[in-house]
Amino acid sequence: MSQAISGPYAARILADLGADVVRVESPRTDVTEYFGVVRDGRAGMFAQMNTGKRSIGVDLAVAGATGLITDLARRADVLIENFRPGVMDRLGLGYGQLSSANPALVMLSISGFGPAGPDAQRRALAPVIHAESGLLARQAELDERPPTDLPMALADTLTALHATVALLAALHQRTATGLGQHIDLSMLAAIAATDDHAHAVLDGTGEAYSSRGTIWRAPGGPLLIAAPPKHAWSMLSRAGLVTDPAPPGTDLPTKFRLRQQAIQDWIIGFTDRESLVAALESAGVAWGDVRDSADVFAGGAHSVSVPGSERRVTGLPYHFSAAQPAIRRRAPRRGEHNAEVLADWLGLDRTAVDGLAARGVLIAS
């Protein structure tokens, strides 16, 4: 019961790992439907987040819908939702109500800023969390330019990964206790927990510093050295590849500028990229080509085909020695599996399903 990326991507991972995932879709359009080419009736981003699932369409505003969801929750191992805090309780579908129906249920609630507090009810898409988490301010300070957002929904995807870890841990604990539990996960907390530079703030220094790579002009196109200029200088000078252009007594800003220029001059002094790369390798310097995304996925790399479709989507990065993640079906249309899911999960026959549709509880498109 989730929208956009954070909840759906966590459920997509579970689907690829073998879970029977049922997406409960409302009459409203998911924001991911606005991104990408439409194939098989679904946009590219929606397909990437929801391939492999089945779909039932449920209008939660119609009488009887809450009872249907409760019946499904009785049979479920996991329920994922990312409504704003309090919505599920108002619908009669909060953890208290559902755990009474199914004490073994593991329920995950994703929010932007947590279930309580002054920001709990704010609309929290990934860019909002990027700004509120300090990432954009740090990036702007390091680059000495105005803040700009990130080119991917990092807050959503990191939250989805933390969500999957939490769900699997709760399911593992359930094998010992027989009981489920409720997991609250905020997007802001997920980013904060994953910020590898948080120690500077926690230790009280607070200064922005960079462990990022630096892009240099190079023969054959831009090249990244996996270090800021100061550390790149140390590695290259230790290897005897560059000499210090700064006279003794030079002030630090001038010394930094001259050394940075010396690195750039050394790089563009090579006539071909292969010789440059060989020199970097000899010095133990990690480097990278600045590739276009199309190059990364060229030839089917890092993606998998969708059964019954011409579409490819990103695949899971795990390579198990005794198992194989798989996509079983294309991204579903809203309500495509109404009858199938309700027969499998609840044993409802066609007459019962048609009755729910006639009352407007079930929807399809």
Per-residue pLDDT tens over the stretch 81-104: 999 999 999 999 999 999 999 999
Same domain, 331 and 230: no
Report the run of H or E that residue 123 belongs to, with start and end.
Answer: none
144 lies in a domain?
yes
282 lies in a domain?
yes
- Range(s) of the domain holding residue 338: 6-198+299-363
Average pLDDT, the chain: 96
> What is the Cα 140 distance to its own chain's centre?
23
Q: How many CB atoms lie within 10 A of CB 154?
A: 20
Predicted local distance difference test score (pLDDT) of residue 208: 65
Predicted local distance difference test score (pLDDT) of residue 210: 74
SS3 percent helix, strand, coil of the chain, rounded to 5, is 45, 10, 45
318 lies in a domain?
yes
> What is the Cα 216 distance to its own chain's centre?
29
Predicted local distance difference test score (pLDDT) of residue 212: 87
213 lies in a domain?
no
Q: How many domains does the chain have?
A: 2
Same domain, 49 and 71: yes
> What is the Cα 221 distance to its own chain's centre?
30
| Helix, strand or coil, per DSSP, at residue 21 | coil
37 lies in a domain?
yes
Same domain, 131 and 234: no
Place of tokens 């994953």: 194
Same domain, 99 and 174: yes
Same domain, 160 and 108: yes
Predicted local distance difference test score (pLDDT) of residue 142: 87
Contact 16, 327 (CB under 8 A): yes
Same domain, 285 and 303: no
309 lies in a domain?
yes
Catalytic residues: 156
Which residues, listed in sequence order, are joined to residue 111 by a DSSP beta bridge? 186
Predicted local distance difference test score (pLDDT) of residue 90: 96
Q: How far is CA 55 from CA 5, 310, 336, 363, in A?
A: 16, 20, 6, 10
Same domain, 15 and 103: yes
pLDDT tens-digit profile of 205-250?
A: 876 667 889 999 999 999 999 999 999 999 999 999 999 999 999 9
> Which residue stretches of the chain have pLDDT < 70?
207-209
Same domain, 79 and 118: yes
Same domain, 52 and 106: yes
Residue 275 to residue 106: CA distance in whole angstroms: 56
210 lies in a domain?
no
> Among the three residues 289, 316, 343, which one is the final residue of a domain in this structure?
289
152 lies in a domain?
yes
Phi, psi (deg, nearest 5) at residue 331:
-60, 135
Q: How many CB atoms lie within 10 A of CB 23?
A: 27
> Among the three residues 271, 289, 307, which one is the final residue of a domain in this structure?
289
Residue 93 to residue 69: CA distance in whole angstroms: 8
Q: How far is CA 160 from CA 44, 108, 126, 190, 259, in A?
A: 18, 11, 12, 9, 42
Question: What secondary structure does DSSP assign to 297-343, as a single string?
Answer: TGGGTTEEEPTTSS-EEEPP----SS------SPPPPTTTTHHHHHH
Residue 71 to residue 69: CA distance in whole angstroms: 5
| Helix, strand or coil, per DSSP, at residue 107 | strand
Contact 82, 2 (CB under 8 A): yes
Output the domain CATH number for residue 92: 3.40.50.10540
Predicted local distance difference test score (pLDDT) of residue 143: 87
Predicted local distance difference test score (pLDDT) of residue 209: 66
Same domain, 50 and 176: yes
Q: How many CB atoms lie within 10 A of CB 254?
A: 11
